[in-house]
Structure 1
């Protein structure tokens, strides 16, 4: 065989090998899904439900691995440092991604570039509640009561979202108030129910269960649209506070530089799962509305908007990095 023939044979073999590699179906082995929430909790249950459905579509095991701590940063960091091959992803809320760099010293990463957005699957807001025994029926009633207290109104806060949302609401109505801090939202809602604190922005699941038990009264949701599972509840914007919209977008992310064909495949699967009727019911029961985006690029744009809002609210609430 001549030198030219050997060269051509070698080149053909290389091309064939590359082609065979490129055609390797994804996934061809188990995929690890990082869950930054404790096993058995609400977040963990949602992640495991999606993992089970992804396994059916991908025809490979999608194994949930809990890496808990530091407000989700431990899980986020693990995925950021993982190989960008599509075999390690994370399902979490956007607040842990865009918020942590603003409130945590150890979260020194670019929230818009450290992870590759795959797709969203739900939107979770907060619900403004007051004691059911009070005579406050609307957001306007509460606003008037707060103003009448001339800075003496009290609001409960156990999470970063609550610590940002309450000052934003107070600023919007031209009033001031005093934060009463709690370690757990359940304790905070208990004091609101007892009339010891004027109001709280609680998560939907807790707010609805406590309202059903007759302990609190729900006034409005912070989401852009009315909740599909509580259609009689107005939004804060409908209550007259334009622009007062806050929610956490839950979705899937992969390490930066993960191949676009893998990201797009996962995106299509996530949307397919979210559009299932039983998944919509499941999300509603978890206090969330389904949220599918058209593409990973659209999700990236939404993340930019979320980060800009967090920057503004962290400054407003005077939260310092810890």
Structure 2
């Protein structure tokens, strides 16, 4: 063997030795789990399960969903972000992720101590009222709250949760007041609005529009910047009476800090294909949910912007964390 060939072989062996274990194993070489920091049955759980099966098909490994609810999603979130950064534990988050930093001591930086992978979905929070409330549109509802400050009630999925924050955001911009009635989850909150025990609530289209279609609730407006394609007759909050109000409901995927950039890029590439898959969108579009996609950098920028915006809402409305 010539000196030149021996040098090339030695260099090649050195490169092989320097390759990280994930490259040697051919990531992924075993099942991947997606942590959902909420109980089964909610919007975050739905999104994680819809996308996980298709991701598993593309990666050639099972992708399972593990629910770890508790403490306004902070328990499951902390567990996932502190897991080994090897690409085998991922986290699906929702809007509560950008509210919690203003309410809880997290023990990690929600922007810089994670590896954002992708924004999975975007949809709208729809404002609904019980049909017995004497209002046909948002202007009527705001006028009613001005005449009866603090008398009307709104439900949310929990004290200090995202639904309380987005509601208080609208109330603050409109300079009206309503009484907050927190529940342990979206399901019980919806049930009491249906029963007329509570007057109104913001919630995901996938949770509420079925009752609007059945005539059991009245949809007033949607919080997105533009009208939703699935509900073109439903005005936005901004155009219906509260200029400047824009709230997009979304889900996204994170990995623990230190996950190799090659794994993040691989997952981002596959997830972009998944969220734009025709079969997936046929399943989520009727719920008023769209696949989002984009780069990790775009998702990190969204997290930063949303955390800053909702911190201001929490301060202005004096919102406190739940027990």
* Separation (CA, whole Å) in 1 of partners of 2:134 and 2:9: 86
CA distance in 1, matches of 2:128, 2:122: 19
Work out whether residues 42 and 286 of structure 1, in 8 Å CA contact, stay in contact via their aligned partners in 2.
no
Contact 1:164 1:316 in 2 (8 A): no
Aligned counterpart, 2:47: 46
Structure 2 unmatched ranges of 5 or more: none
1-structure distance, mates of 2:20, 2:44: 39
Partner of 2:13: 13
Are 2:204 and 2:249, in contact at CA under 8 Å, matched by a contact in 1?
no
Q: Indicate the SS of the match to 2:69.
A: coil
Instruction: Judge conservation of contact 2:172–2:317 (CA < 8 Å) in 1.
Output: no
Match of 1:210 in 2: 211
**Residues 167-225 of structure 1: per-residue CA shift (max 9 Å, x gap):** 22222222223223334544444444455543221332232122122121101011222
Question: Alpha-carbon deviations, 1:211-261, whole Å to 9, x = none?
Answer: 122121101011222223212111111213222122332111111121222
Q: Does 1:178 align with 2:179?
A: yes
SS state at 1:237 partner: helix
Structure-2 residue corresponding to 1:271 = 272
CA deviation profile, 1:120-142 (whole Å, cap 9, x unmatched):
11124321112224442211111
Q: Is 1:78 aligned to 2:79, yes or no?
A: yes
TM-score normalised by the chain length of structure 1: 0.87
Give CA-to-partner distance per residue, 1:78-122, whole Å, 9 cap, x none. 2222222212211221x24322232224x2221111211000111
Report how far residue 313 of structure 1 moved: 1.7
Specify the SS of the correspondent of 2:44. Answer: helix
Number of aligned positions between the proteins:
318
Q: Normalized against structure 2, the TM-score is what?
A: 0.86
The 3-state SS of whatever aligns with 1:168 is: helix
In structure 2, what is the equivalent of residue 99 of structure 1? 99
CA RMSD of aligned residues (A): 2.9
Runs ≥4 residues deviating over 6 A = 5-9
Q: Is the 8 A contact 1:101 1:109 kept in 2?
A: no
1:110 is matched with 109
Structure 1 residues 191-206: aligned runs within 5 Å: 191-193=192-194, 195-206=196-207
User: Are residues 98 and 161 of structure 1, via their aligned partners in 2, closer, same or farther at CA, if it must alter by over 3 Å?
Assistant: closer
Counterpart secondary structure, 1:230: coil
Partner residue in 2 for 1:87: 88
SS at match of 1:82: coil
Cα separation, partners in 2 of 1:124 and 1:317, compared to 1, 3 Å: farther
Q: Residues 189, 61 of structure 1: CA spacing in aligned structure 2 closer, same or farther, 3 A cutoff? A: closer
The change in CA–CA distance for 1:66 and 1:199 in structure 2 (over 3 A counts) is closer
